[in-house]
């Protein structure tokens, strides 16, 4: 039966970049190679997300901040807090508690607003200058909606690992990928070869 990738568009982008055809009736060796590609795609996403400082794949993020650390707004009781994620990010819930020993409760929707810009996102809130907020954020892209520039970057990262793989029997990229107790990790070669960075430039968040 045909091989089904966990990340179909990223897998297709990689195969196109490598100029490889997918066998419609894969052998066991084909399946081993395709599975390895999928593992590398996941590893390279991890590395790209570390470089960007934010998730690129869809998921939920909880972002906590102190009300006292927010910037004061134009009105005396207004404040705003920069949220360091911009990859398809939306605010799904906002909660507040009096201190670390308190219990989070939903914050009145009439007292906050979510402002999304191409360069940054931030929460505007009022009537709180103390306590701690927890924002629940939906961020990142599904494989089907992943921007093509990211797919290009991932394809080049995986191709780098693939092309550095030793020829012959040991063709599973062990020069590029190490296996340990915590799973596989990219080698220093991927971290030092920065050619792929350009594809993720717009997704790198500023340090605040």
pLDDT of the residue at 188 = 56
Tell me the DSSP string of 133-146. EEEEEEESB-GGG-
Residue 142: band (very low, low, confident or very high) from pLDDT cuts 50, 70, 90 = very high
Mean pLDDT to the nearest integer, 75-95: 92
* Measured distance CA(119)–CA(125) in Å, rounded: 20
Residue 131: helix, strand or coil by DSSP? coil
pLDDT of the residue at 106 = 97
pLDDT digits (tens, 9 = 90+) for 32-48: 889 989 988 998 999 99
Q: Give this prediction's pTM.
A: 0.81
pLDDT of the residue at 174 = 42
């Amino acid at each position: 039966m045909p091989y089904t990738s966990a990340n179909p568009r990223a897998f297709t982008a990689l195969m196109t970049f490598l100029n490889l055809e997918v066998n419609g009736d894969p052998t066991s060796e084909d399946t081993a190679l395709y599975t390895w590609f999928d593992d590398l795609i996941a590893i390279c996403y991890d590395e790209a997300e570390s470089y960007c400082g934010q998730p690129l794949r869809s998921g939920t993020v909880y972002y906590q901040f102190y009300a006292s650390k927010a910037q004061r707004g134009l009105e005396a009781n207004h404040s705003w807090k920069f949220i360091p994620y911009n990859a398809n990010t939306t605010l799904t819930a906002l909660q507040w508690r009096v201190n670390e020993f308190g219990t989070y409760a939903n914050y009145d929707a009439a007292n906050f607003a979510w402002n999304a810009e191409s360069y940054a996102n931030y929460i505007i809130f009022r009537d709180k200058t103390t306590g701690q907020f927890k924002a629940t954020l939906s961020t990142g892209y599904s494989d089907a909606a992943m921007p093509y520039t990211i797919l290009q970057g991932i394809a080049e990262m995986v191709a780098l690992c693939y092309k550095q793989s030793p020829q012959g029997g040991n063709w599973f990229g062990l020069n590029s990928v190490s296996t340990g107790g915590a799973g596989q990790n990219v080698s220093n070669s991927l971290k030092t070869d920065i050619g792929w960075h350009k594809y993720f430039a717009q997704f790198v968040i500023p340090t605040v």
